[in-house]
Amino acid sequence: MRALLIDVDNTVSPHHSSQVIPEMRAWLGSLPAAGFSSRLVSNNWHASLEDRAVALGVPAIGKAKKPLTSGFRRAATELGVTPEQCAVIGDQIFTDILGGNLFGATTVLVQPVTPADLPHTRVLRRLERVIMNGRDPEA
């Protein structure tokens, strides 16, 4: 692994919020010393995305259209890596994990930062619970 492609909403910060979690900022800041490059890859396109990217110190790719792979491809191209050298980290099976798998990256499902979600995401969360069959994603 050389690069981490990381979701934003409910992965590194609360859903559609300008809030930055200090522990996430510290973790993201530690990645270069550990040999990782990174990009935030989000379906979000609002101004809060760029605000959080600046506050977290990691460039963001908005309007990624996950689970389509174009946002992941753009991030990998910017970082000069192949899909096999990437890990996609996110809180949703049907966007982050499916998209990362279609892209050819390793995927890591994490628990959402908060329970707040968009209405369509709440529906997908029900399907995720069925798929997960009582298992918890990484905390």
Which residues 6+ apart lie within 8 Å of 106 measured at CB? 1, 86, 87, 88, 100
Question: How far lies 6's CA from each of 29, 77, 111, 130, in Å?
Answer: 13, 15, 13, 24
pLDDT over 90 (residue 16): no
Q: Residue 124 CB: number of other CB atoms within 10 A?
A: 15
The CATH code of the domain that includes 106 is 3.40.50.1000
Structural domain includes residue 138: no
Beta bridge partners of residue 60, listed in sequence order: 40
Domain count, the chain: 1
The residues, ordered by sequence, that sit 6+ positions from 112 with a Cβ below 8 Å of its Cβ are 10, 11, 15, 91
In a domain, 137, yes or no: no
Q: What is the pLDDT of residues 35-84, one digit of tens each?
A: 999 999 999 988 889 999 999 999 999 999 999 999 999 999 999 999 99
Q: Is residue 44 part of a domain?
A: yes
What range does the domain containing 12 cover?
A: 3-132
What pLDDT, in 10s, does the model give residues 84-109? 999 999 998 889 999 999 999 999 99
Torsion sign, CA atoms 101, 97, 60, 139: negative
d(CA 95, CA 27): 23
Tell me if 139 is assigned to some domain: no
Specify if 11 maps to a domain.
yes
